[in-house]
């Protein structure tokens, strides 16, 4: 995509131009979600039931938060293989501080997040100062932090969190209907207001703007989408707090990446590190901060996972969590080659993966088939990305 096209406001005409140049955006993911919904609802009418969709929203939060952190590193064209182990270790640190040491829940959570940031700092320094490949650095982290987790849990292997405590309540709290609708109204008004303000500022500066009718269509589409989600989940237990936390993280990091100097520098370093360095960007600082954010978000994902289980054990952060988090980022549209991706890719990607998982479980399909289907979807996403890059180059 040319720089001129990338800077144009997003309109249907610009969308077509981007498609011609190989930038397919989120359309393949949206089409995949529609296909998944049609297929699984035809095979099992419980797939689109409010109870199943609410459970799906709960299951998204932890893996999606870890995936959001991995996107920060993928945007640089690097990889973080330690996210799963870091999530389990930080959740274990939080639980030990809260249950064994008697610290308050909030203090224990802050310590866990600080531990995640410290681990990311170590990874970033090893990558930038020692010039070790990120693959090797985080692979060593995967094994090392897992070993530390096992060391901390060597006596008993499992630590339970209080079922009525603050941490466990994070996954067992449901928003009342009035608050859910208030949030929907607030999000729509803020989104629409921000779009109108941006349009006005661009008009004042003499820059091309998005047509007003297109802004209204986008805002209306967001309102309908959020309203449908609230209606469905309100038919069961309501909107889960975990989904609000995950959604808030996605929105915050989307704003950071799109509207701050740090975000622009991340894309610049991922697109061409040498050109970014010559432009005066502190490439080392950007890389270290990206690794710190990745590990901090991995810690946050571990906390949300521990909240759902009300415990930590030797399997925390293990199993297929890391693989699913990386797959979600790539399936959502983040490029493995760096320089292209959005925070919303974590939401879209994890929605695809959890939808496939939920549908397979409802059909009592063996997990081996689930892995093969997820692998096929991941391979398709990478193929689309490769073709898009080839089209852009041409």
DSSP string computed for 322-381: HHHHHHHHHHHT--TTSS---THHHHHHHHHHHHHHHHHHHTT--HHHHHHHHHHHHHHH
Better pLDDT: 113 or 233: 113
Answer whether 241's CB lies under 8 Å from 174's CB.
yes
Residue 35 has pLDDT above 90, yes or no: no
* Statement: residue 18 has pLDDT above 50: yes
Element (H, E) at 281: none
Is the pTM above the cut of 0.75?
yes
Q: Which of 85-99, 188-202, 333-347 has the highest mean pLDDT?
A: 85-99
pLDDT at 393 over 60: no
pLDDT of residue 4: 40
- What residues have CB less than 8 Å from 114, skipping those under 6 apart? none
Q: Can you tell me the distance from the alpha carbon of 333 to that of 344, in angstroms, rounded to the nearest whole number?
A: 9
At 19, is the pLDDT very low, low, confident or very high (cuts 50, 70, 90)?
A: low
The answer to whether residue 265 scores a pLDDT higher than 90 is: yes
**Quick one: pLDDT at residue 16?**
59
Instruction: Tell me what pLDDT residue 278 has.
Output: 93
Write down the pLDDT at residue 129.
93
pLDDT at 133 over 70: yes
- Each residue of 167-190: pLDDT tens digit? 989 888 899 989 999 999 998 998
Is the model's pLDDT at 21 over the cut of 90? no
Which of 15-24, 200-209, 274-283 tops mean pLDDT?
274-283
pLDDT reading at 2 higher than 80: no
Instruction: Cite the DSSP H helix spans in the chain.
Output: 3-7, 12-20, 27-43, 50-74, 83-95, 105-128, 134-152, 166-169, 177-204, 212-234, 241-259, 261-271, 273-278, 283-309, 321-332, 344-362, 367-393
Q: What residues pair up with 174 in beta bridges, in sequence order?
A: 240
Domain ranges of the chain: 26-393
CB under 8 Å to 250, separation ≥6 — which residues?
Answer: 64, 68, 343, 344, 346, 347
Percent of all residues in the chain with a pLDDT value above 90, rounded to a whole number:
44
Nearest to 138, CA basis, from 116, 118, 123, 149? 123
pLDDT digits (tens, 9 = 90+) for 66-104: 999 999 999 999 999 999 999 999 999 999 999 988 899
- In sequence order, the 6+-apart residues with CB closer than 8 A to the CB of 249 are 65, 68, 297, 300
Q: What is the pLDDT of residue 1?
A: 41
pLDDT of residue 263 exceeding 60, the answer is yes
pLDDT of residue 15: 57
Provide the token pair at 23: 């930038």
Q: Quick one: average pLDDT of 20-24?
A: 57
* Local structure of 210: helix, strand or coil: coil
φ/ψ (deg, to 5) at 61: -60, -55
Q: Which residue has the higher pLDDT, 303 or 20?
A: 303
Measured distance CA(138)–CA(89) in Å, rounded: 14
Mean pLDDT, rounded, for 5-15: 53
Tell me the C-alpha distance between 340 and 21, whole Å.
14
What pLDDT is recorded for position 119? Answer: 97
The answer to whether the CB of 296 falls within 8 A of the CB of 65 is: no
Which pLDDT score is estimated for 181? 92
Task: Determine the average pLDDT of the residues in 325-346.
Answer: 87
pLDDT at 358 over 70: yes
- pLDDT, residue 17, reads 62
Greatest Cα-to-Cα distance within the chain, rounded to the nearest angstrom: 67
- Which of 37-41, 89-93, 385-389 is predicted with the least confidence, judged by mean pLDDT? 385-389
The alpha carbon of 320 is separated from its chain's Cα centroid by a whole number of angstroms, namely 16
- Of 27-31, 32-36, 314-318, the range with the lowest mean pLDDT is 27-31
Bridge-based pairing of strands 239-240 and 158-160 is unpaired
For residue 7, pLDDT beyond 50: no
């Amino acid at each position: 995509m040319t720089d001129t096209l990338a800077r144009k406001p997003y309109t249907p005409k610009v969308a077509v131009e981007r498609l011609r140049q190989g930038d397919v955006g989120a359309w393949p993911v949206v089409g995949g979600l529609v296909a998944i919904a049609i297929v699984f609802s035809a095979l099992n009418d419980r797939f689109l039931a409010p109870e199943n969709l609410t459970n799906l929203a709960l299951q998204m939060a932890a893996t999606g938060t870890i995936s959001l952190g991995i996107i920060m590193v993928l945007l640089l064209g690097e990889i973080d293989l330690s996210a799963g182990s870091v999530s389990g270790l930080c959740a274990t640190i939080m639980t030990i501080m809260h249950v064994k040491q008697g610290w308050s829940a909030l203090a224990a959570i802050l310590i866990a997040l600080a531990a995640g940031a410290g681990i990311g700092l170590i990874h970033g320094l090893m990558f930038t100062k020692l010039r070790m490949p990120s693959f090797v650095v985080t692979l060593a982290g995967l094994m090392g932090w897992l070993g530390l987790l096992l060391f901390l849990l060597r006596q008993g292997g499992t630590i339970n969190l209080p079922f009525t405590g603050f941490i466990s309540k994070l996954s067992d709290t449901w928003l009342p209907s009035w608050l859910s609708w208030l949030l929907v109204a607030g999000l729509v008004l803020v989104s629409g207001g921000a779009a109108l303000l941006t349009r006005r500022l661009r008009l004042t500066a003499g820059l091309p703007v998005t047509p007003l009718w297109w802004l209204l269509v986008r805002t209306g589409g967001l309102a309908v989408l959020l309203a449908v989600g609230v209606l469905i989940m309100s038919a069961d237990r309501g909107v889960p707090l975990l989904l609000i936390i995950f959604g808030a993280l996605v929105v915050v990091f989307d704003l950071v990446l799109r509207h701050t100097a740090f975000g622009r520098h991340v894309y610049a370093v991922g697109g061409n590190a040498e050109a970014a360095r010559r432009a005066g960007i502190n490439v080392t600082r950007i890389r270290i901060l990206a690794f710190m954010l990745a590990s901090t978000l991995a810690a946050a994902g571990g906390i949300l996972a521990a909240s759902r289980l009300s415990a930590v054990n030797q399997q925390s952060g293990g199993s297929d969590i890391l693989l699913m988090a990386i797959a979600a980022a790539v399936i959502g549209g983040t490029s493995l080659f760096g320089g292209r991706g959005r925070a919303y890719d974590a939401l879209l990607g994890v929605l695809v993966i959890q939808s496939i998982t939920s549908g397979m479980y409802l059909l009592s399909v063996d997990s081996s088939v689930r892995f093969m289907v997820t692998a096929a979807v991941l391979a398709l996403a990478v193929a689309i990305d490769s073709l898009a890059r080839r089209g852009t180059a041409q």
